[in-house]
Amino acid sequence: MTLSPSLRKLVLFVHLTSSLGWVGAVIAYIALGITASTRHDSETIRAAWIAMELIGWWVIVPLAVGSLLTGLVISLGTPWGLFRHYWVLISFLLTMFATVVLLAHMPAVSAAAAILRSADPAATHGSGRGDLLHAGGGLVVLLVLTTLNVYKPRGMTPYGWRHRARSNVDHPAG
């Protein structure tokens, strides 16, 4: 399947918007996590965790899924292919990994937010340190993905080389 130029541009637009939005939302999530782990007043800590839960489920998860799906459509609908170039395959696998980790982690965020909604105010200080590790690691993965997609390092997979050889036989130059 090859995408028409206008459809390819639309999917690329949605992909870039989702991917970069995901990075921005994770940065906002980290800011809230820092607030939750460094503040001493229970209301601010509770508010930060509630906001982290909302941003996680209603912004980060949809952007992650959107990025994953549109990346798949772009790779399958353009000459890049999903399995032809290492950078495309690695990008897809890292995006899938980040999305799965996110989906597995979000119930713990919801549980923490629920506990803090009804917790003793003294028990709220320092909440969020463990979540910063997840969010920080996620941000690193997203920045690696961005780097791969901007620089597109050379290197074709064995499948890519076979596909290229078949294409050259089917369509000889000249």
Beta strands in the chain (DSSP E): none
How many Å apart are CA 88 and CA 145, to the nearest integer? Answer: 10
Q: Of residues 160 and 171, which shows the higher confidence score?
A: 160
Q: What Rg do the C-alpha atoms of the chain give, in angstroms? A: 20
All domains of the chain in start order, with CATH: 5-169 (1.20.120)
Q: Does the pLDDT of residue 171 top 60, yes or no? A: no
Two tokens, residue 98: 């980040």
> Residue 15: CA atoms inside 13 Å, Cβ hemisphere, count?
20
Helix (H, G, I), strand (E, B) or coil at 156: strand
Q: Tell me the per-residue pLDDT of 119-153, one tens digit each, with 9 for 90 and over.
A: 765 665 555 566 899 999 999 999 999 999 999 88
Q: What is the mean pLDDT of the chain?
A: 89
